[in-house]
Structure 1
Amino acid sequence: MATIGPDLEERPSEERPHVLIVDDVSENIEVLAAALGADYEVFFAMSGDEAIEIASSFRIDLILLDIMMPDVDGYEVCRLLKLDPRLAEIPVIFVTAKTDIEDEAKGFEVGGVDYITKPIKRLRVRARVSTHLQLKASRDRLRALAHLDSIAGIANRATFDSLLERETRRAELEQVPLTLLLIGIDDFDALVDSKGHLQIQALLEHVGQGLADHVRGALDFCAHFGGHQFAMLLPQQGAETALIRAADLVDAVAQLGLKGVDPRQAVTASVGGITVDFALLDPDERIGSYELALAASQALEQAAGSGRGQLWLQRWEGAV
């Protein structure tokens, strides 16, 4: 059983589904862990606050949640989980001694997917957990396909726009930096004129995957922005990091070894970007995701107009 705390020594397996057990009674946790530990990586929490902290910090695939806990009960914990877009899709199964229909209805109302009543039966727990993990895996696959760009094979523009809007608002609220980089393939019109449709699509796939492989931070996100352009969003990253990451992306495309119009010349890319440090802005100033995307597009135009494999990065108030 994996525990979370300052004495944690083992790293959870990435192969097995991660199940979080939340109960303020250690004996109940032990019973559930014994039922699941052979097939799942088990985490546990003994309070609602600890449960939310673990779910926010680790990949959790399903939560078994006791209802009757001190301070914050299971209903409130589930409601808080569903309010966070990062955690809302985690299925929550309530584990409780309550059997009234009103209690069950309240659990479904706040976002629970199932009920397991105490005393706990091992086979029942295993069957319910297996069923809901399979359902979640199916939903995740469908969601991934809906967010996938059919040309480049990475996240699509609609997904990126939604994330950019969310991270812009988050950065404004938390008063932290945010960087947006746009990567454009150099001399793309000449490539289109000289190569067939299938070759261009293969090129975009190679570049998209090459850029996605260079995601570094836990919050970084790469997507196909459209046409020959790709986007890399760097939440909580300022201008100095932006310059390093932009240069890394230019090198990454060059090192793919893809051939341009001249077979002796590799395909290259230029990068334009914008960094906003919300802590330095006037409190009344509001910046939208559209303004950030426009500023990054203008920076990319400057970079591409300067030659092949160029960088042009700006802070919101001026040039880097």
Structure 2
Amino acid sequence: MTDAKPFRLLLVDDDEASLDLLASLVAHFGTLARARTGAEALAEVASHLPDLILLDAEIPSPNGFEVCEILKTNPLYADLPILFVTAHNAPEIETLALRLGAVDFIHKPLNPAIVRARVRTHLLLKQRTDDLHRLAIQDPLTRLANRRAFDDALDQEIRRARRNATPLSLLMLDVDYFKRYNDHYGHPKGDEALRAVAGVLARYSRRAGEMAARLGGEEFAVLLPGLSADTATLLAERIRASVIDLGLPHAFSDVAPVLSVSLGVAAYEPEGTALTDCADQALYAAKKAGRNCVSAA
């Protein structure tokens, strides 16, 4: 980590002079946001998630300890590092802050070197934690979401679609005759081809909640909340055409002189067959129909 990395820090104190001093000590770490009350702090976290919070204990309702407890009991913010910056120096107060989930405790009056060192340490830890989390949910070859991340997102989107009665569609696709491609052109070229297909999928899944994932081998999926089956089918056809347009030669394909994909499309039905099963069945139908095509369940 370098000091120039643009982290986002939230400074919370009801004293303007204290905020100014703290800001002068940590400004080089990135973007700073300020809050003077507990309510302002919670609103800022909800709208612009920070990488680190520097939190005074004695702020207007809710106080700093209550803010910490509220954030740490919310799964969305449980891993957010909170440093208390306060004049309290009683052991029981520091113990309370740590028990509530704070990662550190800085005493006032502030020692500039201590503040910078502790903020730097916790930002570095946050960066490493974020990197590990990303590796856990990302396919290393294509940089798309992996199967674990896809399964979690699918479960969440199905629950949202059921609760809100909103459409949800799923695309499943395979690269046509990919084993032949690998056998003839070699695995490095096969990896390049998978990355190229992944790039196409990423371009068509940029809206909030949409996700392109590599499920394994040459199998991919695209999760499309808010899209009907008809709209998702049109999108699938655009994806199919865009893969053809990549122009990657495939001399051993039976369906095209270039790399192609087959796609299955399914829409969520509350009382119907599982969404992934429907999409798989549609994908099988596309392959049975000759590949390099789209089939809707």
Q: What TM-score, normalized to structure 1?
A: 0.76
Q: Does 1:300 align with 2:280?
A: no
- Give the CA deviation at 1:134: 1.0
Distance, in Å, in 2 between the alignment partners of 1:132 and 1:49 is: 24
In structure 2, the CA distance between the partners of 1:164 and 1:131, relative to structure 1 (3 Å rule), is same
Distance, in Å, in 1 between the alignment partners of 2:20 and 2:44 is: 18
Equivalenced residue count is 292
| Identity within the alignment, % | 36
- Give the CA deviation at 1:25: 3.9
- Give the CA deviation at 1:166: 3.2
Alignment of 1:3-18 (within 5 A): 16-18=6-8
Task: Tell me, yes or no, if the aligned pair for 2:180 and 2:252 is still in contact at 8 Å.
Answer: no
Alignment of 1:75-94 (within 5 A): 75-94=65-84
- Give the CA deviation at 1:31: 2.6
Alignment of 1:92-241 (within 5 A): 92-173=82-163, 175-192=165-182, 194-239=184-229
- Give the CA deviation at 1:296: 2.1
Task: Tell me, yes or no, if the aligned pair for 2:205 and 2:224 is still in contact at 8 Å.
Answer: no
Structure whose alpha-carbon radius of gyration is higher: 2
Task: Tell me, yes or no, if the aligned pair for 1:270 and 1:311 is still in contact at 8 Å.
Answer: yes
Distance, in Å, in 2 between the alignment partners of 1:120 and 1:144 is: 35
Task: Tell me, yes or no, if the aligned pair for 1:211 and 1:252 is still in contact at 8 Å.
Answer: no
RMSD between superposed Cα atoms in Å: 3.2
Distance, in Å, in 1 between the alignment partners of 2:108 and 2:79 is: 25
In structure 2, the CA distance between the partners of 1:166 and 1:190, relative to structure 1 (3 Å rule), is same
Task: Tell me, yes or no, if the aligned pair for 1:56 and 1:87 is still in contact at 8 Å.
Answer: no
Structure 1 regions of 5+ residues with no counterpart?
1-13, 315-320
Specify the code of the residue in structure 1 equivalent to 2:34.
F
Distance, in Å, in 2 between the alignment partners of 1:210 and 1:15 is: 30
State the Cα deviation string for residues 116-168 of structure 1 (Å, max 9, x = none): 22333433322211111111112222333333334544332123222322333
Alignment of 1:279-318 (within 5 A): 291-313=274-296
Distance, in Å, in 2 between the alignment partners of 1:200 and 1:108 is: 51
State the Cα deviation string for residues 24-66 of structure 1 (Å, max 9, x = none): 4444333322222233111223344443443344352212223
Partner of 2:10: 20
Q: What TM-score, normalized to structure 2?
A: 0.81
- Give the CA deviation at 1:298: 2.0
1:161 match: secondary structure? helix
State the Cα deviation string for residues 51-106 of structure 1 (Å, max 9, x = none): 34433443522122233333323333333333444433321112223222222222
Q: Does 1:274 align with 2:257?
A: no
Q: Does 1:41 align with 2:24?
A: no
Specify the code of the residue in structure 2 equivalent to 1:297.
D
1:38 match: secondary structure? helix
Structure 2 regions of 5+ residues with no counterpart?
none
Task: Tell me, yes or no, if the aligned pair for 1:153 and 1:209 is still in contact at 8 Å.
Answer: no
